[in-house]
Chains A and B, each alone.
Chain A
């Protein structure tokens, strides 16, 4: 069965500092990986996705993530955060063997401080 672990439940960071959110997954060989962001009282917005090809994926709002197959990780990074990046971030995996069902991690709350 597929699973996703987000190692940090909360990450405080100062404005303009870099941030990295860690995500590890357990699944079969062929996976698709996603990062979603959820602002307060809103639904999930797709930040970026890895389907195939280049392991470095660029998304919206300056975020990027790197797929590491050997370490089964898909960490999210941003070189310089803004106050507006304060939100909850969810990593998710979709596995063809599991019928392309999307499984989410528990989320990482990012709090950007001025």
Chain B
């Protein structure tokens, strides 16, 4: 079974530029998550989708971050414009569902973003 796919793996941009990350979850997984992991810290949830609807985006900086999950499969996360403090690894995860035993999350390899 294929795991969670993410691209690109690495991205370097100047501050105030835009950047987009792509995620393809495990086939059949209804729930998709985007996390931000700053160096030396645990991952922090940015946004959670259930199929193509948003379940939780309370920690997403909506003035600069946006995410979508068209057709309930792939997802993109965008930052516009980027700030220095956005330098982090962006992790995508998916789970069968978001209820009980079915919410075990499986992670992709992440995208390491460096903002100069």
Please list the residues of chain A having a beta carbon within 8 angstroms of any beta carbon in chain B: 4, 32, 34, 36, 41-46, 49, 51, 90, 92, 94, 96, 99-102, 104-107
Given A43-B91, A43-B109, A106-B41, A101:B104 Cβ within 8 A: no
Task: For A99, give its contact among B4, B41, B56, B101 (CB under 8 Å).
Answer: B56
The distance from the CB of A21 to the nearest CB of chain B, in whole angstroms, is 13
The distance from the CB of A47 to the nearest CB of chain B, in whole angstroms, is 12
Are A34 and B48 in touch, CB under 8 angstroms?
Answer: no
Complex Cα–Cα for A55 and B104 (A): 18
Given A44-B91, A44-B107, A104:B43 Cβ within 8 A: yes
Complex Cα–Cα for A51 and B99 (A): 12
Task: For A94, give its contact among B55, B93, B103, B107 (CB under 8 Å).
Answer: B103
The interface residues of chain B lying within 8 Å CB-to-CB of A41 are: 112
The interface residues of chain B lying within 8 Å CB-to-CB of A4 are: 42
Are A105 and B100 in touch, CB under 8 angstroms?
Answer: no
Are A100 and B42 in touch, CB under 8 angstroms?
Answer: no
Are B109 and A100 in touch, CB under 8 angstroms?
Answer: no
The interface residues of chain A lying within 8 Å CB-to-CB of B91 are: 43-44
Are B103 and A100 in touch, CB under 8 angstroms?
Answer: yes
Q: What does the 1/0 interface line of B82-102 toward A look like (CB < 8 Å)?
A: 000000000101000011110
Complex Cα–Cα for A51 and B101 (A): 7
Task: For A49, give its contact among B4, B45, B104, B107 (CB under 8 Å).
Answer: B104
CB-nearest residue of chain B to A52: B101
Are B104 and A34 in touch, CB under 8 angstroms?
Answer: yes
CB-nearest residue of chain A to B33: A102
Complex Cα–Cα for A92 and B91 (A): 15
